[in-house]
Amino acid sequence: MFTGIITDIGEILEVEQRGDLRARIGTAYDPDTIDIGASIACDGVCLTVVALGSAPRHWFDVEISAESVAMTNIGRNSWAAGRRVNLERALKVGDELGGHIVSGHVDGVAEVVGMQDEGDSTRVQFKAPDDLVKFIAPKGSVTLNGTSLTVNEVDGATFGVNFIPHTKVATTWGDVAMGDPINLEIDMMARYVARLRDYG
């Protein structure tokens, strides 16, 4: 489990198809503090560490299944060497829950369809997949590229989020551009409320 509070911005160093896709990600995390088999959310995708190293910089390797590729922006050719990715290590008992409960299981891919600067902040509009729209509510929580965010408004399949300067610096949201595919995980509470409504 994760919280959606980004603790490092990693960089894709290599991507290689080896049956499953394998990626090497540069990080500020100390490899001595990471176990093989540990879970790290990479742009919101919960991935398993399969190798570690520190030369010429700290890095870890992950293997990405065909299902994960198909369900995320990884399958939209957005992971390539040089790309920056939001990273979060798995939540430990006793850690502060600063965002909201995030599973790292991406539900679909949204698209950036609008951007406006509002003072020092940036308002970004996203188009959600049709089957996920019902789970997104004004002032509710949503996870986008691994970041816990609050929805400002919803208009049909489009919803808006405001990014303050700190968020743009501490995450990859300062790099966002029109048309970008974005990993979307809906709020777990919304998922269960809808399930109870439909089948309760």
Residue by residue, DSSP assigns 93-160 as: TT----S--B-S---EEEEEEEEEEETTEEEEEEEPPGGGGGG--TT-EEEETTEEEE--EEETTEEE
State whether 113 and 83 are in the same domain.
Answer: no
Domains of the chain: total: 2
Range of the domain at 47: 8-89
State whether 22 and 67 are in the same domain.
Answer: yes
Asked which of 56, 89, 122 is the last residue of a domain, the reply is 89
Q: At 199, phi and psi to the nearest 5?
A: -125, 0
Q: What is the pLDDT of residue 94?
A: 66
CATH value at residue 178: 2.40.30.20
State whether 81 and 133 are in the same domain.
Answer: no
Q: What is the pLDDT along the chain (200 residues), one digit of tens a residue?
A: 899 999 999 999 999 998 899 999 999 999 999 999 999 999 999 999 999 999 889 999 999 999 999 999 998 877 999 999 999 999 876 667 777 889 999 999 999 999 999 999 999 999 999 999 999 999 999 999 999 999 999 999 999 999 999 999 999 999 999 999 999 999 877 777 776 777 65
State whether 59 and 121 are in the same domain.
Answer: no
State whether 155 and 73 are in the same domain.
Answer: no
Is-contact 179 111, C-beta < 8 A? yes
Asked which of 33, 61, 89 is the last residue of a domain, the reply is 89
Q: Which residues contact 130 (CB under 8 A, 6 or more apart)?
A: 157
State whether 79 and 31 are in the same domain.
Answer: yes
165: in domain: yes
Helix (H) or strand (E) holding 165: helix 165-170
95: in domain: no
State whether 120 and 195 are in the same domain.
Answer: yes
State whether 75 and 113 are in the same domain.
Answer: no
Q: What is the pLDDT of residue 77?
A: 75
State whether 154 and 116 are in the same domain.
Answer: yes
75: in domain: yes
State whether 19 and 79 are in the same domain.
Answer: yes
State whether 122 and 168 are in the same domain.
Answer: yes
Task: Tell me the three state secondary structure of residue 74.
Answer: helix
